[in-house]
Amino acid sequence: MARITVTVDGVAYQEEVEPRLLLVHLLRDRIGKTGTPIGCDTGNCGACTIMLDGRSAKSCSVLAVQADGAEVLTVEGLAGPDGWHPMQRAFHEEHALQCGYCTPGMIMAAIDLLKDDPDPSEDAVRAGLEGNLCRCTGYSNIVRAVRGGARAMRDAGAVGDR
Amino acid sequence: MIPPAFDYVRPSSLPEALAALAEAGEDAKVLCGGQSLLPLLRLRLAYPSVLVDVGRLPELHGVREEGGHVRIGAATTHDEVLRSPVVRAGCPLLPLATATVADPAVRHRGTLGGSLAHADPAGDLPAVAVALDMEFVVASAAGERAVPAGEFFVDYLETALRPAEILVAVRVPRLGDGWGFHYEKFHLTAQAWAVVGVAAAVRPGGAGGDRRVEEARVGLTNMGPTPVRAGGVERAVRGAPLPGAGAGGSPGGAGDGVRDAAALADEGTSPPGDLHATPEYRRHLARVLTRRALLAAAA
């Protein structure tokens, strides 16, 4: 067993973990952050995307021990005192989901993309989300939502802010 | 989904890591970003006794110019490669290929050294390593040795690394002025592995209607158990006329010499057959993609 310290959505946790424990299992089974789903066995689908020290990562492809000392942000940590994060609101408004399983990962990947490109073109959105699979929507509404969310974040001066 | 049990150590210096690896024996594995190893563990295709995490070792980080080459620490992430002005200026072919590796989240964690040491012939970076004659800096308790790219890749997922050795860095020779670069990748979906890929560096000469290939380097992805250096193409393409500006590689025009040379791309290869492509289709792709890569690199 290994003792790790990890900050998740602003709260510090100390955990005794088996080295083989995946970060996504730490988040879901230990800390209760079930907003981050597990979608595949291969690292392809991106449903479990979170921010690890400020950049997107697939939490099924990181060991919990590798995240020792790190800061994790999940979809559950996005909303602020004024309600949903602008990207969450944009996904709602544009109906950018059907079953919703891929949505947490899509939102995290979208916010990560905006850190480098606050006003992404449609092509840039599609390239930025290449690691996130949606099997329902055909992506059009997702792309619209990301661009809408980006606009809202620029208007709010929130681009680049976590 | 749940990996087999293993022990885990995270040494704080390279000598400690080498000692841990030597003590752990040959069933130990080196862990860096984990973007190749963790999927293998989850699918239980690997059963290491110990993982030695080298991801935070200061000796494996950093990019710098060193004489005639660029030295890139093995733990440099793909994302850092893409952002490094030193890499972009000194070996532009590497970021061109790196930009096609997996997806942004994987590129944040995955490392150059990890990809090379994993030695998947379907990975994009081994072909770049052989095309550019990268040198692999390998450390063990006995000291450092340098392994040329041509000797590093031994077989499918197998390298010249010995059990108690760690890849510390690669040295990428600078090619000098006048070279152009391209990585041509054929894959079925955005983040998928290359069915076939071609890494090309071309130094054109002449001007206007008399542009020719002076020199070229070609590395092939997924055309055998190891990355392939297409030496036959490199020799045949010397002196081949290039299309003038805007002329394209139209049949019967300049560019035919490039096409003839590219037709040798699959010589001496042993491409795999799988559900994406037969060996014969991969041979066809190698010829077509090599022509495209050469012309794009020369443009």
Model confidence pLDDT, tens digit, residues B253-289: 667 999 999 999 999 999 999 999 999 999 999 999 9
Q: What number is the average pLDDT over the span A127-137? A: 94
Residue corresponding to tokens 């905006």: A114
Mean pLDDT of chain B: 95
**CA A74/CA A69 separation, integer angstroms:** 16
Closest chain B residue to A124 measured between Cα atoms? B104
Handedness of CA B254, B255, B259, B261 (dihedral sign): positive
User: Domain spanning B180-298: which superfamily?
Assistant: CO dehydrogenase flavoprotein, C-terminal domain (3.30.390.50)
Among residues B63, B68, B34, B66, which one has the least CA distance to residue B48? Answer: B34
Query: Phi and psi for B57 in degrees, rounded to 5?
Result: -70, 125
Token readout for B281 is: 């289709």
pTM over 0.80? The answer is yes
Q: Which pLDDT value is given to residue A162?
A: 44
Shortest distance, CA B35 to any CA of chain A (angstroms): 6
Among residues B223, B289, B280, which one has the least CA distance to residue B258? Answer: B289
**Res. B196: pLDDT tops 80:** yes
With CB atoms and an 8 Å threshold, state whether A63 touches B8: yes
Q: What number is the average pLDDT over the span B196-221? A: 95
Q: What number is the average pLDDT over the span B67-76? A: 96
Q: What number is the average pLDDT over the span A85-95? A: 97
* CATH 3.30.465.10 location in chain B: 1-174
What strand order describes the sheet that includes B180-186? B180-186, B196-205, B212-221, B228-229
**CA A2/CA B198 separation, integer angstroms:** 43
Q: Which pLDDT value is given to residue B249?
A: 46
Sequence-distant (≥ 6) Cβ neighbours of residue B269 within 8 angstroms: B220, B223, B224, B228, B283, B286
> Can you name the CATH fold of B1-174?
3.30.465
Render pLDDT for B9-34 as a digit per residue (tens, 0 to 9): 999 999 999 999 999 999 999 999 99
Shortest distance, CA A99 to any CA of chain B (angstroms): 22
**Res. B151: pLDDT tops 90:** yes
Render pLDDT for A30-86 as a digit per residue (tens, 0 to 9): 999 999 999 997 899 999 999 999 999 999 999 999 999 999 999 999 999 989 999
**Res. A111: pLDDT tops 70:** yes
Shortest distance, CA B99 to any CA of chain A (angstroms): 11
Helix and strand numbers, DSSP H then E, in chain B = 12, 14
**Res. B107: pLDDT tops 60:** yes
Token readout for B115 is: 């990809």
The interface predicted TM-score of the complex, written ipTM, equals 0.96
- Of A37-46, A119-128, A142-151, B120-129, the poorest mean pLDDT is in A37-46
Q: What number is the average pLDDT over the span B233-238? A: 98
**CA B109/CA B117 separation, integer angstroms:** 15
- Percent of chain B with pLDDT strictly greater than 90: 91
Distances (CA, A) of B295 to B175, B177, B232, B258: 18, 18, 17, 8
**3-class DSSP state of B105:** helix
Closest chain B residue to A68 measured between Cα atoms? B10
Q: What number is the average pLDDT over the span B119-138? A: 98
Is residue B271 left, alpha or beta, with left meaning phi > 0 and alpha meaning psi from -120 to 50?
A: beta
Interface probe with A: pick from B45, B52, B101, B191, most Cβ of A within 10 Å: B191
Walk me through the domains of chain A, giving residue ranges and CATH numbers. 2-77 (3.10.20.30), 86-155 (1.10.150.120)
- Residue B162 exposed, middle or buried by CB count within 10 Å (0-12, 13-18, 19+): exposed
Q: Which pLDDT value is given to residue A161?
A: 47
* CATH 3.30.390.50 location in chain B: 180-298
Q: What number is the average pLDDT over the span B30-47? A: 96
Distances (CA, A) of A161 to A79, A86, A143, B51, B72: 13, 12, 21, 35, 31
